[in-house]
Amino acid sequence: MNHALLILTLLIAPLLGFLFNGLRFRSPDGYVAGTVATLAAGISFLCSAVLVKDLAAMPVESRVIATHFFDWITVGNLHVPFGFVVDQISAIMILVITGVGSLIHLFSIGYMSHDERPAKYFAYLNLFLFNMLVLVLGDNLLITFVGWEGVGLCSYLLIGFWFTDAQKAAAGMKAFVTNRIGDAGFLIGVFMLFSAFGTLNYADLINVIPKSPEALWTGTLTVATLFLFLGATGKSAQIPLYVWLPDAMAGPTPVSALIHAATMVTAGVYLFVRMSPVLIMAPHTMEVIAWVGAITAFVAATIGLTQWDIKKILAYSTVSQLGYMFLAVGVGAFTAAEFHLMTHAFFKALMFLGSGSVIHAMHEEQDVRHMGGLRKYMPITHLTFVMGWLAIIGMPPFAGFFSKDEILWQAFSSPYGSKGLWAVGVVTAALTAFYMTRLMALTFWGKSRFGHDVHPHESPPTMLIPLIVLGILSVIGGWFGIPHLLGEYVHLPNLIEGWLEPVVAKLPEVQSEPVIEWSLMRFSVALAGLSAAFAYDSYILHPERTGKLVSALGVVYEAIFNKYYVDEIYQGWIINPLVEGSKALWLYIDVNFIDKATYFAGDLVSGMASFVKTVQNGKTQSYALYMALGVVVVMTIVLM
Amino acid sequence: MWEAIAFYSLAIFLIYFAFKTITVPNPIHAALYLVLTMIGLGAAFFNLGAQFIAGVQMIVYAGAVMVLFVMVLMLFDLKAELRAFSRGLFSGGLKVMSAALLAGLAIGAANSSVAILENPDSAKPVADVTRQLGILLYTKYLYAFEALGILLLAVAVGVVAVSRIKGGTHAQH
Amino acid sequence: MLSIETLLHVGLPHYIFLSGILFSFGMIAVLMRRNVIVMLMGVELMLNAVNLSFIAFSKESGNLNGHIMVFFVMTIAAAEAGVGLALAVAIYKKFHEVNIRFFEHLRG
On whether any CB of chain B is under 8 Å from the CB of A597, the answer is: no
User: Where do the H-state alpha helices sit in chain C?
Assistant: 4-8, 12-32, 36-61, 65-95
- Residues forming beta bridges with residue A75, ordered by sequence position: A78
Q: How confident is the model at residue B126 (pLDDT cuts 50, 70, 90)?
A: low
- Residues forming beta bridges with residue A309, ordered by sequence position: A367
Closest CA to A422 of A327, A280, A319: A327
Q: What is the pLDDT of residue B160?
A: 92
Mean pLDDT of chain A: 86
Segment A171-185 mean pLDDT: 91
DSSP state of C46: H
Given a cut of 70, whether residue B129 has pLDDT beyond it is: yes
Q: What is the pLDDT of residue A295?
A: 92
Q: Give tens-digit pLDDT for B87-98.
A: 777 778 888 888
How far is residue A248 CA from its own chain's centroid?
Answer: 12
Distance from CA of A616 to the nearest CA of B (A): 15
Contact check, Cβ <8 Å, C100/A619: yes
Q: Which residues of C touch B68 (CB under 8 A)?
A: 81-82, 85
Q: Give tens-digit pLDDT for A422-439.
A: 899 999 999 999 999 999
Q: What is the pLDDT of residue B123?
A: 54
Interface test with A, best of C40, C43, C100, C106 (most A CBs within 10 A): C106
Q: How confident is the model at residue B173 (pLDDT cuts 50, 70, 90)?
A: very low
Query: What does A278-330 look like in DSSP terms, one character per residue?
Result: HHTT-HHHHHHHHHHHHHHHHHHHHHHHH--BHHHHHHHHHHHHHHHHHHHHH
A248-252, A557-561, A570-574, C83-87: which has the minimum mean pLDDT? A557-561
Given a cut of 60, whether residue C19 has pLDDT beyond it is: yes
Contact check, Cβ <8 Å, A617/C107: yes
Q: How confident is the model at residue B169 (pLDDT cuts 50, 70, 90)?
A: low
Domain ranges of chain A: 1-138, 140-561, 569-639
A147 compared with A414, residue with greater pLDDT:
A147
Measured CA distances, A454 to A28, A370, A449, A457 (Å): 27, 10, 10, 10
Q: C101: nearest CA in chain A?
A: A619
Q: By a Cβ cutoff of 8 Å, what residues of chain B touch chain A?
A: 86, 91, 94-95, 98-99, 101-102, 105-106, 108-109
Neighbours of chain A (3+ CB pairs under 8 A): B, C
Contact check, Cβ <8 Å, A628/B98: yes
- Residues forming beta bridges with residue A80, ordered by sequence position: A73
On whether any CB of chain A is under 8 Å from the CB of C30, the answer is: yes
CA gap A156, A151 in Å, rounded: 8
Q: Which residues of A touch B105 (CB under 8 A)?
A: 632, 635-636, 639
**Residues making up chain C, counted from first to last:** 108
C-alpha gyration radius of chain A? 29
Given a contact cutoff of 8 angstroms between Cβ atoms, the answer to whether A409 and A280 are in contact is no
Given a contact cutoff of 8 angstroms between Cβ atoms, the answer to whether B123 and C58 are in contact is no
Given a contact cutoff of 8 angstroms between Cβ atoms, the answer to whether C63 and B138 are in contact is no
Q: What is the pLDDT of residue B122?
A: 55
Segment A500-523 mean pLDDT: 77
Distance from CA of A583 to the nearest CA of B (A): 57
Contact check, Cβ <8 Å, A628/B86: no
On whether any CB of chain B is under 8 Å from the CB of C10, the answer is: yes
- Residues forming beta bridges with residue A79, ordered by sequence position: A74
On whether any CB of chain C is under 8 Å from the CB of A620, the answer is: yes
Contacts of A498 (CB under 8 A, 6+ apart): none
Is C38 a domain residue? yes
Contacts of B133 (CB under 8 A, 6+ apart): B52, C64, C67, C68, C71
Given a cut of 90, whether residue C55 has pLDDT beyond it is: yes
Q: Which residues of C touch B122 (CB under 8 A)?
A: 62
**Residues making up chain A, counted from first to last:** 640
Given a contact cutoff of 8 angstroms between Cβ atoms, the answer to whether C28 and C42 are in contact is yes
On whether any CB of chain C is under 8 Å from the CB of B43, the answer is: no
Q: Which residues of C touch B3 (CB under 8 A)?
A: 10
Amino acid letter for position A266? T
Phi-psi sector, A217: left (phi>0), alpha (psi -120 to 50), beta: beta
On whether any CB of chain A is under 8 Å from the CB of C32, the answer is: yes
Number of other CB atoms surrounding residue A611 within 10 Å? 9
CA gap C77, C54 in Å, rounded: 15
CB pairs under 8 A between B and C: 231
Q: C63: nearest CA in chain B?
A: B126
Q: C71: nearest CA in chain B?
A: B53
Residue A351 has, within 13 A of its CA and on its CB side, a CA count of 32
Segment B139-156 mean pLDDT: 94
Give contacts of C 38-67 with B, CB under 8 A: 38, 40-42, 44-45, 48, 51-53, 55-65, 67
CA gap A205, A221 in Å, rounded: 12
Contacts of B135 (CB under 8 A, 6+ apart): none
Q: Give tens-digit pLDDT for B2-56.
A: 788 889 999 999 999 999 999 888 889 999 999 999 999 999 999 888 899 999 9
CA gap B95, A619 in Å, rounded: 14
Contact check, Cβ <8 Å, B98/A625: yes
User: Does the ipTM exceed 0.85?
Assistant: yes
Is C2 a domain residue? no
CA distance between the termini of chain C: 50
Residue A135 has, within 13 A of its CA and on its CB side, a CA count of 26
Given a contact cutoff of 8 angstroms between Cβ atoms, the answer to whether C49 and C23 are in contact is yes
On whether any CB of chain C is under 8 Å from the CB of B135, the answer is: no
Domain ranges of chain B: 1-78, 127-166
Q: Give tens-digit pLDDT for A269-287.
A: 999 988 888 888 888 888 8
Number of other CB atoms surrounding residue A504 within 10 Å? 23
Is C3 a domain residue? no
Q: Which residues of B touch C104 (CB under 8 A)?
A: none
Query: Among residues of chain A, what percentage have pLDDT more than 90?
Result: 28
Domain B1-78 is of which CATH architecture? Up-down Bundle (1.20)
Helix (H) or strand (E) holding A72: strand A65-75
Instruction: Write out the residue range of the structural domain in which residue C28 sits.
Output: 11-102
Q: What is the pLDDT of residue A606?
A: 94
Contact check, Cβ <8 Å, B165/C76: no
Contacts of A21 (CB under 8 A, 6+ apart): A33, A36, A37, A119, A120, A122, A123, A126
Contact check, Cβ <8 Å, C108/A624: no
Segment A499-503 mean pLDDT: 75
Phi-psi sector, A522: left (phi>0), alpha (psi -120 to 50), beta: alpha
Domain count, chain C: 1
Residue A26 has, within 13 A of its CA and on its CB side, a CA count of 0
Segment B111-129 mean pLDDT: 66
On whether any CB of chain C is under 8 Å from the CB of A621, the answer is: yes
- Residues forming beta bridges with residue A483, ordered by sequence position: none
